[in-house]
Amino acid sequence: MTTSGRVDLVGLGMTEMSITPGAAPQELAREAVDRALADAGITRADVDGLLVGSSQGIRPDRLGVAFAAQGGFGDLRLLEHVEIKGATTIAMVQRAALAIAHGQARTVVCLFADAPLVAGKGAGSTYAHSGGQSGTRGLERASGVLGSVPTYALLAQRWMHVSGARPEDLGAIVTTQRAWAVDNPAAVARKPLSEDDYLASPLISTPLRRLDCARPVNGAVAVIVSNDAAIGHPVRLAVRGTGRSHPVRHRRAGAESWFGGGRRAVDDALEYAGMSRSDLDVAELYDPFSVVTLMLLEEYGLTGTARAGDFVRAGETGRGGSLPTNTGGGQLSGFYLQGMTPLVEAMIQLRADGGGRQVPDASVALVGGIGGRLDHHAALILERAA
């Protein structure tokens, strides 16, 4: 074995992203791991670390550390269930990279599986019925806040009020991302979308329409992190920097309830990488709702002096733009597998495997993750190794 001074992403495996109920999370996880190992050209015997992530609340059989045994792994030096909601994926890569850099593991599988779609219920219904009857969430549900859409709708209204963004900016995000998804075989919605198509989409919670919301899927992704130069996919992707920000907000007069405070994650990741925003070729952001992309582009300082709505409507996040963003269609048109969605697309772009949606010469990617109600931000800078 040859140890590299770098920590790289050396393997990627994903299941089909299914919009119909099917396999349990453990079965999906097994399939994703098998594909990632094959992609990296290794077997389970080469793995000494396993990090697992799964979403809370929807299924009692969520993936956990028991998957080490369920999934056929041997003795490990690193095994954790990582949980900071939507920021989990980047936290896993960060944890793996740190462990490897400190000699505490060598080849780590980061795994996320989710199967929110169950027989007999739509995704919206499943989320509407989850959340319980206790605490603040119980009081909110007793006030009609069912599922996560109404909270993000309140956020959207507030963001538009504060930033001057307009409902048509949301439409621009949706149509731009759909244009990317057209050439993504893994995307769940690939039909080109006009502004009129967007406006015909039914309102869920003003201003959010059905097309402003992510498409939950059943699926799993495994990513392999290693400093072993003898293994891995021929195109190695270096972990250049990571950053986190956990703004602790209090919902009271004088403060915003849902935004502000995430930018430091991106600043820290770039500083660690020795890069600046102008070095970014693509941005893959966590976008459960269109308004989140609109907001994060601005909050992360990715639009220069422009307002995000103007930036998007000028085509800067689309093909040929200055910062192609969510180039697989994101979670809106691609698939909603939480933090894995942006990470997968960044890896595909940097490997130049993007086919019809490939961004020419993409070599540096920003991957973002958010969790909770914008309570957790994580950023990752990946670079295609020379």
Partner 1 sequence: MSADVTTALGVDWLLADSLAPITEGDVLQPLYDGAALGELVLPFCSYCALPLDLEQQVCDGCGGHDIAWSRVEPAGIVHAATVMHRREPGLVLASSPYPILDVELGSGHRLVMTTAEPEPSAPAIGDPVHVTFRDLGGVQIPSARPILDPSVTTRTALSQTEARS
Q: Which residues bind partner 1 (CB under 8 A)?
A: 124-125, 128-129, 133-136, 138-147, 149-151, 153-158, 161, 202-207, 248, 250-254, 257
Pick the closer one to partner 1 by CB: 51 or 153: 153
Distances (CA, A) of 339 to 46, 221, 299, 306, 378: 25, 10, 19, 27, 10
Pick the closer one to partner 1 by CB: 3 or 125: 125
Pick the closer one to partner 1 by CB: 13 or 147: 147
Pick the closer one to partner 1 by CB: 74 or 251: 251
Q: Is 268 helix (H, G, I), strand (E, B) or coil?
A: helix
Rounded to whole angstroms, the Cα distance separating 295 from 300 reads 8
Rounded to whole angstroms, the Cα distance separating 119 from 139 reads 29
User: What are the b/e assignments for 151-173, b being 16+ CB within 10 Å?
Assistant: bbbbbbbebbeebebebebbbbb
Pick the closer one to partner 1 by CB: 128 or 182: 128
Rounded to whole angstroms, the Cα distance separating 367 from 379 reads 6
Single-letter amino acid code for the residue at 262: G
The least CB distance from residue 142 to partner 1, in Å, is 5
**How many other β-carbons are positioned within 10 Å of the β-carbon of residue 372?**
12
- Given a contact cutoff of 8 angstroms between Cβ atoms, the answer to whether 148 and 291 are in contact is no
The least CB distance from residue 209 to partner 1, in Å, is 9
Pick the closer one to partner 1 by CB: 74 or 138: 138
Residue 32: which H helix or E strand, with range? Answer: helix 25-40
The least CB distance from residue 131 to partner 1, in Å, is 10
Q: Dihedral, CA atoms, 352, 355, 357, 360, nearest 10 degrees?
A: 40
The least CB distance from residue 157 to partner 1, in Å, is 5
Rounded to whole angstroms, the Cα distance separating 145 from 121 reads 19
The least CB distance from residue 374 to partner 1, in Å, is 14
The least CB distance from residue 218 to partner 1, in Å, is 21
The least CB distance from residue 372 to partner 1, in Å, is 14
Chain centroid, CA 180 distance in Å: 16
Pick the closer one to partner 1 by CB: 64 or 124: 124
Pick the closer one to partner 1 by CB: 207 or 241: 207
Extract the tokens encoding 92.
């896993």
Rounded to whole angstroms, the Cα distance separating 12 from 33 reads 8
The least CB distance from residue 208 to partner 1, in Å, is 8
